[in-house]
């Protein structure tokens, strides 16, 4: 951790200053991008990653880079984590954590609804390595408890989860997980450290897709895992061998994005609450799920666990295929596109049937719960930073063409 970080108490100050140091050679106030794959070394420098210790000197950018390190230190400060390892994408971060935590013969418990890439990894490659995966509705604490086995090593949750914005109780699940001698990882991409700091609530690992709110501008992909220093040293060895290193240029873009994260999240939340209320009043809209609405089935948990309700809304409409078609053809401000957390509003339709064929495996109770949020399909709306009246008018103009 950079010396002086104890001075940066508030999140807004950490977002701007943590990890950044004026350049020693030029005294530039802004961080410089070190676009170098190699670093000039002395003759005694060991060659193997096995000898990698503290990152005080640099050797090769896959093992560590000054710009990437600044981003890692900023993220660690924001999450109150001992250490952070950045990756080339959120999925590179998730897959590396799975390889770190799970060996053949181990068992993991995972939320039955999660980001599709993670759901598909845990459906295909991970079980093929003789690692057992149990999917549970992690809003149901008894189901989480019942899923734990003697060889459970990891519980992996996402809150709020992609795409239905359902929450899981981090503190309660951390207690169940730790009582079983396992570790808890929380994908906190939808929440961001502005809303929730999972490590303070007992999580062992926090995962972020930096491609979303942290970058915030839809122009760079990245990922991160945060946790205890010894675990993160092991993760760095894995990064060196699996190879998903973040480009220093992307690290710089993401770091620049993070400096405005607290004020952006406030604006995302303000806009999302207004858009959620607007959607609730539309005759074509059947159901709106947003943690900041009293109608969210877990609004009490949201108030306890999230100090910002973020900008993600899930909603159902009548005739969803026709509405999806109308949105893709007629929206002029909101982009009909995947991803989320950008300054631009983004919307995408996720069909329940398609998710069941490709990504999710439910028992009847789990399917019923998913359908209570998503019906036959759900629109995932990432409310951006445009004028909120303009966003609402754009949605209204397009939905009436369905």
Question: Over the range 31-41, which residues count as b (16 or more CB within 10 Å of their CB) and which as e?
Answer: bebbeeeebee
Stretch that binds ligand PLP, among 48-56, 74-82, 182-190, 342-350 (CB under 6 A): 182-190
Residue 297 C-alpha from the chain's centroid: 22
Residue 359 is a binding residue for ligand PLP (CB under 6 A): no
> Residue 194 and residue 304: Cα distance in Å, rounded?
14
Smallest distance, Å, CB 102 to ligand PLP? 18
Smallest distance, Å, CB 384 to ligand PLP? 16
Contacting ligand PLP within 116-175 (CB under 6 A): 117, 158, 162
Stretch that binds ligand PLP, among 10-18, 85-93, 300-308, 320-328 (CB under 6 A): 85-93
Residue 187 is a binding residue for ligand PLP (CB under 6 A): yes
| Residue selected from 196, 197, 211, 382 as contacting ligand PLP according to rule CB under 6 A | 211
Per-residue tokens: 223: 């990922």
* Identity of the residue, 23 or 120, whose beta carbon is nearer to ligand PLP in the bound complex: 120
Residue 112 is a binding residue for ligand PLP (CB under 6 A): no
Smallest distance, Å, CB 90 to ligand PLP? 2
Stretch that binds ligand PLP, among 52-60, 65-73, 86-94, 329-337 (CB under 6 A): 86-94
The 3-state DSSP class for residue 256 equals helix
Residue span 221-240 as binding mask against ligand PLP, x where in contact by CB under 6 A, dash where not: x-x-----------------
Cis peptide bond N-terminal to 96, omega within 30: no
Q: Are 78 and 98 in contact (CB under 8 A)?
A: no
How far the first Cα of the chain sits from its last, in Å, is: 53
Per-residue tokens: 51: 């000898």
Stretch that binds ligand PLP, among 132-140, 185-193, 267-275, 287-295 (CB under 6 A): 185-193
Residue 380 is a binding residue for ligand PLP (CB under 6 A): no
Residue 91 is a binding residue for ligand PLP (CB under 6 A): yes
Give the number of residues in contact with ligand PLP, rule: CB under 6 A. Answer: 15
Spell out the residues 6+ positions from residue 115 whose beta carbon is closer than 8 angstroms to its own: 90, 94, 158, 161, 162, 187, 189, 209
Q: Are 141 and 147 in contact (CB under 8 A)?
A: no
> Residue 352 and residue 373: Cα distance in Å, rounded?
10
Of 320, 278, 276, 281, the closest CA to residue 299 belongs to 276
> Residue 247 and residue 211: Cα distance in Å, rounded?
13
* Identity of the residue, 307 or 339, whose beta carbon is nearer to ligand PLP in the bound complex: 339
Residue 90 is a binding residue for ligand PLP (CB under 6 A): yes
Q: Which residue is nearest to ligand PLP (CB)?
A: 90
| Residue selected from 8, 58, 115, 370 as contacting ligand PLP according to rule CB under 6 A | 115
Per-residue tokens: 376: 């036959």
What's the CA angle centered on 180, arms 179 and 186, to 5 degrees? 85
| Residue selected from 65, 69, 89, 382 as contacting ligand PLP according to rule CB under 6 A | 89
Smallest distance, Å, CB 158 to ligand PLP? 5
Spell out the residues 6+ positions from residue 22 whose beta carbon is closer than 8 angstroms to its own: 28, 29
Q: Are 68 and 251 in contact (CB under 8 A)?
A: yes
Residue 348 is a binding residue for ligand PLP (CB under 6 A): no
Binding site for ligand PLP (CB under 6 A): 89-91, 115, 117, 158, 162, 187, 189-190, 209, 211-212, 221, 223
């Amino acid at each position: 951790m950079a010396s002086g970080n104890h001075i940066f108490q508030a999140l807004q100050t950490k977002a701007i200053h943590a990890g950044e140091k004026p350049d020693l050679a030029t005294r530039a106030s802004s961080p410089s991008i070190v676009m170098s794959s190699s670093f000039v070394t002395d003759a005694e420098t060991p060659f193997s990653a096995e000898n990698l210790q503290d990152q005080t000197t640099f050797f090769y950018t896959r093992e560590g880079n000054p710009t990437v390190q600044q981003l890692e230190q900023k993220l660690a400060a924001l999450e109150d984590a001992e250490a952070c390892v950045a990756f080339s994408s959120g999925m590179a971060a998730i897959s590396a954590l799975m390889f770190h935590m799970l060996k053949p013969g181990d068992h993991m418990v995972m939320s039955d609804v999660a980001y599709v890439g993670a759901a598909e990894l845990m459906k295909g490659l991970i079980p093929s390595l003789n690692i057992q995966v149990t999917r549970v509705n992690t809003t149901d604490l008894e189901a989480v408890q019942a899923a734990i086995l003697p060889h459970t090593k990891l519980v992996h949750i996402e809150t709020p989860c992609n795409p239905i914005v359902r929450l899981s109780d981090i503190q309660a699940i951390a207690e169940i997980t730790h009582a079983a001698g396992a570790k808890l990882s929380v994908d906190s991409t939808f929440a961001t450290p502005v809303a929730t700091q999972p490590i303070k609530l007992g999580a062992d690992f926090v995962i972020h897709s930096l491609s979303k709110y942290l970058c915030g501008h839809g122009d760079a992909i990245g990922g991160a895992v945060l946790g205890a220093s010894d675990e993160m040293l092991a993760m760095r060895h894995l990064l060196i061998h699996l190879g998903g290193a973040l480009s220093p240029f992307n690290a710089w873009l993401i770091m620049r994005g993070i400096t405005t994260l607290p004020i952006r999240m406030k604006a995302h939340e303000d806009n999302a609450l207004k858009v959620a209320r607007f959607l609730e009043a539309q005759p074509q809209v059947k159901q709106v799920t947003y943690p900041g609405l009293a109608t969210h089935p877990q609004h009490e948990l949201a108030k306890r666990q999230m100090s910002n309700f973020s900008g993600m809304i899930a909603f159902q409409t009548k005739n969803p295929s026709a509405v999806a078609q109308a949105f893709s053809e007629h929206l002029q401000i909101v982009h009909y596109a995947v991803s989320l957390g950008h300054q631009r509003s983004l919307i995408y339709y996720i069909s329940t049937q398609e998710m069941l064929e490709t990504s999710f495996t439910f028992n009847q109770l789990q399917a019923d719960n998913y359908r209570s949020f998503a019906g036959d399909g759900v629109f995932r709306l990432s409310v951006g930073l445009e004028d909120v009246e303009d966003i609402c008018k754009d949605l209204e103009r397009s939905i009436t063409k369905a």
